[in-house]
A and B are shown apart, each in its own frame.
Chain A
């Protein structure tokens, strides 16, 4: 039980949330324009929320004097990526398999997996498995919910040991507020003490699966987990439906109207120099996004504004790759590789 241990755990939490984002982006942008409107809205909404989760964890880490790190090869996520509960996240197009993976991620109470049930084609594209640092620091295979529970327990214990003021010693100016990030659920919680830390972490877990018999909450809204189930079953939840059995009309899922991205692509597999250049463009945008986010976490929150623009440039670069057929790949298309390999010197830019 120590502050150092807390720094380790929270650093892993930030990286865990970050690691879910590229797979969601691949699913989102692999959807061909003009269809799958519901899926597009759902996945976009989830991406916005995963970033919020990452920011909330970073706020807690900053509040206890830590330094969230997302830039650099050792901090950026690599794929395929194994989360603490054994779920493997691949870079893959929108598909039944990707929706399954997202369901497992969105359900924080999901039990740890001992074996993964991905299709053989996906397994064949997992040449190297990268482990989440969250998996490395936790006591054993754990659910995401339990992982955050462990963090909260540690915070409470250490606070009682050394005192709340001593624990929450971070500079409040490093907190990211609603000025610079916004999501459907509201603004990030600025963390200054145990109560606000609790609120921040409760936001992270709570926005996943609901726990009632009905999928609708008391505001009449559906949590993301149930929206993903609607995609899985291609049926909407009626008010009268119980959890697990939506019986309403189709939500317009069409897995064929998707660019057939090759799972877990590698830039080294792109022989065409123009394709390789397009991949480098996407990776440069990804790197820049991580650096701007890193700066935002390091006392310059306003960096999140240019970071949003960088995300859209990443989108444009991803779409170019996803729409390009990949020669000699059985009809697959290219896709973003999310590799940390700057191919041109990256100039540090002053934040506005």
Chain B
């Protein structure tokens, strides 16, 4: 083991949370070391282009298809779900469907970019509806950090569209960029659906197709300058920074935006103060060392590898005054557990949540121009909140622009079906495809999951990866509350399809494989959204939580666990914006403390 030079702060993980903390702290004058498990290939644009080439030649175009991991830092992959033999040890009873990426940039490399704030009621589920937990923070206290996160990430939206379900904005505020133009397909759907009323419990809810706040470059407001592609080549050869200044509709946000018009954490890291920042990529944090008397962290051991295809490595020690784990809800937990730091509360690793989601897809009456634009530009938010949450889970609807790509593998599978099954060729084939592909519509309905102590990630010394580090062992189930939410979501989209004259073509038997769960005789195929939460829960009672409202670990006062692992509940929004807001809040706390 080699002792390394001291830094003020050691950050484990160069995803969005770690990068935001590193940027703020270096800019405040502190020396920060970032340890990143995976390679930093996306740091230069030619490195990024190699990922694009990987995507083009991949036979499956799922979220991980552009981002193969290093041997030393394996990651979960949706392609492993069916056989159940991937990085996760899927201990059941149900398969946990979400994945993440262990590369510099993390999951922001392939996320969709949805940047919704949580609703005020999402922070108060227990008080309001008698389910789940309350957060120790409320929406008003996080609001300034939401604004800061929206500017840091670069979010495009109009406040006028977003002030509903109790969400309030500071007076005079609007998002850094104008909303992404809704797609033609969105406007056709809105013409049919806006004003439609549905019953939810005892309430009548009026629907509206609504733009969502997106981390995608659009027309800027005020003095905001959209941040384009990251191209940190040495020696002034940076060229690609004028790429990605506006979304150009590449329709592949997941898994990769070819021009980086979509936010990825590399953009934040590139804005850190380079004179105060050191990044060591290809370095897997493997153990946290703690002083037996004080409980203070004294160092983080990491395994540094040179060749991403080999597990050969050397071991080093990183030391600082404070330590921030930003390696992901699962990896943070895994590192704590394998360092023997489970803590007394018994909550570390538990309350693992996802947004188990269902698809519905169909054929619109007339061409709507499918397969164009960002993967989606609008959604339906109206069932994200309300009194019904005392009975069943809330859900959010994402309205796809990408046709049946995610559900059936179209257009390729549509071509294969037309040619191989229907025997079409020539002008007939072309006419058939031209008449049908532009009419493809799909919804993704993301259902909230409540915290449960039996949904958890743990480690088992018999289950290790090539470096001898533990593989995450997942116990996962979906309870009645969420299943009832799924059933409500299914009935919801069927009603919307009927109203809009969309011919429902949802056919689970002849679509991409997803894990299944049965509820009241109905079989649901569910997919993960890449939304993890709960594993190092935040609270104001040390006996019931892992971290406090600053994401500081109760039992190790110079250790912070940042990320969506801190969330007591998830609501129905992508955790990224809330996670970013919390990370900025933690960075403020650290800045004050290290200065004082």
- Give A contacts to B, CB under 8 Å: 37-38, 41-42, 45, 48, 178-180, 182-186, 216, 220-222, 227, 236-239, 308
Contact = CB atoms under 8 A, between A and B. Distances in A.
B46 interface: yes
A216 B236 contact: yes
Contacts, number: 40
Most chain A CB neighbours (cut-off 10 Å) among B45, B49, B235: B235
A307 to B, nearest CB: 13
B238 A221 contact: yes
B245 interface: yes
A185 B242 CA distance: 7
28 contacts: A37-B49, A41-B239, A41-B240, A41-B243, A42-B239, A45-B239, A45-B242, A48-B242, A178-B220, A179-B220, A180-B219, A182-B226, A182-B245, A182-B246, A183-B245, A184-B228, A184-B241, A184-B242, A184-B245, A221-B236, A222-B236, A227-B239, A236-B235, A236-B237, A237-B236, A239-B235, A239-B236, A308-B248
Contacts of A183: 242, 245
Contacts of B220: 178-179
B338 to A, nearest CB: 42
A41 to B, nearest CB: 5
Nearest to A237: B236
Given A183-B242, A184-B242, A37 B46 contact: yes
Most chain B CB neighbours (cut-off 10 Å) among A179, A184, A239, A308: A184
Contacts of B45: 41
A125 B237 CA distance: 36
A220 B236 contact: yes
Interface residues of B, number: 20
Interface in B217-264: 219-220, 225-226, 228, 235-243, 245-246, 248
A275 B247 CA distance: 33
A340 to B, nearest CB: 27
A38 to B, nearest CB: 8
Contacts of B225: 186
Contacts of A42: 239
A186 B240 CA distance: 14
Nearest to A45: B242
A247 B225 CA distance: 35
A37 B219 CA distance: 28
A96 to B, nearest CB: 21
Nearest to A217: B236
A37 B47 CA distance: 12
A216 B241 CA distance: 16
Contacts of A37: 46, 49
* Among all A-B residue pairs, the 7 with the closest Cβ atoms: A184-B242, A220-B236, A182-B245, A41-B239, A179-B219, A216-B236, A221-B236
Nearest to A352: B181
Interface in B174-222: 219-220
Nearest to B237: A236
Contacts of A45: 239, 242
A238 B235 contact: yes
Nearest to A220: B236
Interface in B510-541: none
A42 B219 CA distance: 24
A185 B45 CA distance: 18
B56 to A, nearest CB: 10
Contacts of B246: 182
Contacts of B243: 41
Most chain A CB neighbours (cut-off 10 Å) among B228, B236, B241: B236
A41 B48 CA distance: 14
Nearest to B228: A184
Contacts of B240: 41
A48 B240 CA distance: 12
Contacts of A239: 235-236
Contacts of A184: 228, 241-242, 245
Contacts of A221: 236, 238
B156 to A, nearest CB: 13
Contacts of B226: 182
Contacts of A237: 236
Interface string B366-380: 000000000000000
Given A48-B242, A184-B228, A220-B236, 12 more contacts: A38-B239, A41-B243, A45-B239, A179-B220, A182-B245, A182-B246, A183-B242, A183-B245, A184-B242, A216-B236, A222-B236, A222-B237
Interface in B11-54: 45-46, 49
A280 B240 CA distance: 33
A342 B226 CA distance: 38
Most chain B CB neighbours (cut-off 10 Å) among A42, A45, A227: A45
Contacts of A220: 236
Contacts of B238: 221
A236 to B, nearest CB: 6
Contacts of B248: 308
A165 B31 CA distance: 53
Contacts of A41: 45, 239-240, 243
Contacts of B245: 182-184
A179 B236 CA distance: 28
Contacts of A180: 219
Interface in B47-84: 49
A37 B240 CA distance: 11
B455 to A, nearest CB: 45
Contacts of A236: 235, 237
B593 to A, nearest CB: 35
A227 to B, nearest CB: 7
A333 to B, nearest CB: 24
Nearest to B246: A182
A230 B225 CA distance: 30
B259 to A, nearest CB: 11
Nearest to B236: A220
A179 B245 CA distance: 11
Nearest to B217: A182
Most chain B CB neighbours (cut-off 10 Å) among A41, A45, A239: A41
Contacts of B228: 184
A221 B238 CA distance: 7
A319 to B, nearest CB: 16
Nearest to B46: A37
B213 to A, nearest CB: 19
Contacts of A178: 220
B228 to A, nearest CB: 8
Nearest to B245: A182
A244 B48 CA distance: 30
A63 to B, nearest CB: 22
A311 B595 CA distance: 53
A184 B225 CA distance: 11
A236 B236 CA distance: 10
A250 to B, nearest CB: 13
Nearest to A230: B237
A179 B238 CA distance: 25
Most chain A CB neighbours (cut-off 10 Å) among B45, B225, B242: B242
